[in-house]
Amino acid sequence: MNRRGLRAIIAAVHCSAVSGCARAPSVDVLGSYFPAWLVSLAASVVLSFFVRWLLLRYRLEGDVGPLQLFYPCLILLFTCLIWLIFAR
């Protein structure tokens, strides 16, 4: 393979690698644009507080296992679900 062909292949690989950067999902909040993952994270923290309130109300928080692992995983679950539903 000659040098020109190798440069063409390298250029094609670079162009296909940066094609995913064409549009970043962002959300307009009061005229300022925020990344969609940041909005998803904030909403998931609010949902996790609601889940904690429900668990405390029904006295089930002691049954969920180690709380230091449960709540971060719950936030991660809600973040991924909100991201998949609203920012696709």
At 3, list the tokens: 């040098």
| Each residue's pLDDT tens digit, 24-61 | 677 777 888 888 888 899 999 999 999 999 999 999 99
Interatomic CA distance for residues 33 and 31, integer angstroms: 7
Q: What is the CA radius of gyration of the chain?
A: 21
Q: pTM for the full model?
A: 0.69
State residue 9's pLDDT score. Answer: 83
